[in-house]
Amino acid sequence: MDATDARILLALAADPRATVVALAEQLSLSRNTVQARLVRMEQGGVLGSFERRISPKALDQPLTAFVTAQVNQHQLAEVSQALADIAEVVEVFGLSGETDLLVRVVAADAEDLYRVAGQILAVRGIERTTTALAMRELVPHRLTPLLRRAAEGR
């Protein structure tokens, strides 16, 4: 990614519905340049899914919790697939250290969270879990500061 890519992404972050023509005009680039770079970034996995912009609250899932899990390392692939099959599991990260996985889940309420945590613990290969309820999001997911730095060529 170069400074031009970062400038395109910053413009998209500011206006996700901007057309290629609008981006090209705003950034003083040709339409073909913007289009080609967007295609390359999409194919390279730089641009993620639209899903990230949808609030779980809109789906009646206002609670967010983080479940840490210790797993049998020989069953990690099976555990990952089983977690992916639980609709309320929105992200799973493999970690270094004492905890193997960090699982972000959403739920309708405390009772629903209890059910989801039970489903996770029941996954074959998960040995132990700990659940922490997110009380408030203090810094939302963001990449704009990094994009600004990249756009400035630093």
Nearest residue to 104 via CA among 117, 120, 116, 92: 92
Question: Would residue 17 count as lying in a domain?
Answer: yes
Instruction: Encode pLDDT of 59-104 as tens digits.
Output: 999 999 999 999 999 999 999 999 999 999 999 999 999 999 999 9
Residue with tokens 């309820």: 133
Q: Do 10 and 148 meet the contact criterion of CB atoms below 8 Å apart?
A: yes
| Measured distance CA(112)–CA(109) in Å, rounded | 5
Whether residue 66 sits in one domain with residue 42: no
Domain housing 24: 3-50
Q: How many CB atoms lie within 10 A of CB 57?
A: 11
Q: What is the pTM assigned to this prediction?
A: 0.83
Whether residue 27 sits in one domain with residue 7: yes
State how beta strands 63-71 and 126-133 pair. antiparallel
Whether residue 70 sits in one domain with residue 36: no
Instruction: Encode pLDDT of 14-33 as tens digits.
Output: 998 999 999 999 999 999 99
Enumerate helices (H) and strands (E) in the chain, giving the number of each: 6, 4
Whether residue 124 sits in one domain with residue 62: yes
Whether residue 64 sits in one domain with residue 46: no
Whether residue 65 sits in one domain with residue 46: no
